[in-house]
Amino acid sequence: MNKFFKVVTYLAVLVGLSALTQAGRFQTVVIDAGHGGRDKGGSYGRVYEKHLALDTSLRVDYMLRKRGYRTQLTRKSDVFISLSKRAEIANRYENSIFVSIHYNYTYNKSIKGLETFYYTSRSRPLASYIQSGMLKKYRAYNRGVKYARYAVLRRAKNPAVLVECGFVSNYYERKRCMKGWYRQRMAEGIVDGIVRYQSARRRGYVW
């Protein structure tokens, strides 16, 4: 084999290898802070879900960027964004994942715990990684990973999940949600889940 073909073969192998290692990976994390502006989400007294969700989302964004991930927030301040706009932002990034961050509310004040929702079966592994990531950071009640027909999840073309970081309506959880250290732990858990999911994608365990 002459030198030219040796070089060409070598380059082809390199390109093939890098394509293999890049194949399953997602490129961008779209972080969606739930609610905002006139939509305050679940609330109890002066504790508004929209503020808790934004704070947690900014923490997730900061930590992901520090780890070298490309991120996009759907909102960076207290503004209203429609559900269709959120989905439109998510779908702008072809090879991405979408993580919508919320805090929970229900009229039954004894209900508590963490839960993560998915719509497509392809999104389920991401939901599982994030749910277990959060539970490792704080041993809250595990409400599990669940199927739900939320509009933002239905419209997203890429893996998309909606994370509920605790109940504003529950006395004990509300007290925790108001603390920076708790929101930091939830953010760390979400980031851990995303990192583990990326590694599973890279190895071809999930697609």
Single-letter code of the amino acid located at 172: Y
DSSP state of 205: S
CA distance 159 to 122: 6
Q: How many residues belong to the site for Zn ion (CB under 5 A)?
A: 3
**Site mask for Zn ion (CB under 5 A), range 136-175, x = bound:** ----------------------------------------
**Shortest Cβ contact with Zn ion: which residue?**
102
SS3 27: coil
Nearer to Zn ion, 33 or 140 (CB): 33
Shortest Cβ 139–Zn ion spacing (Å): 23
Nearer to Zn ion, 26 or 164 (CB): 164
H or E, element range at 43: strand 43-44
Shortest Cβ 63–Zn ion spacing (Å): 22
Shortest Cβ 185–Zn ion spacing (Å): 19
Nearer to Zn ion, 176 or 201 (CB): 176
Nearer to Zn ion, 152 or 206 (CB): 152
Residue 41 lies near Zn ion (rule: CB under 5 A): yes
Select from 26-34, 119-127, 152-160, 177-185 the region that touches Zn ion (CB under 5 A): 26-34
Single-letter code of the amino acid located at 9: T
Distance spanning both ends of the chain, measured CA to CA: 39
Nearer to Zn ion, 34 or 125 (CB): 34
Residues with Cβ within 8 Å of 67's Cβ and at least 6 positions away in sequence, in order, are: 191, 195
Residue 34 lies near Zn ion (rule: CB under 5 A): yes
Residues with Cβ within 8 Å of 150's Cβ and at least 6 positions away in sequence, in order, are: 100, 117, 119, 162
Q: How far is CA 124 from each of CA 69, 109, 119, 147, 153, rounded to the nearest angstrom?
A: 21, 28, 8, 8, 12
**Site mask for Zn ion (CB under 5 A), range 83-112, x = bound:** -------------------x----------
Cα 12 versus chain centre, distance: 36
Residues in touch with Zn ion (CB under 5 A):
34, 41, 102
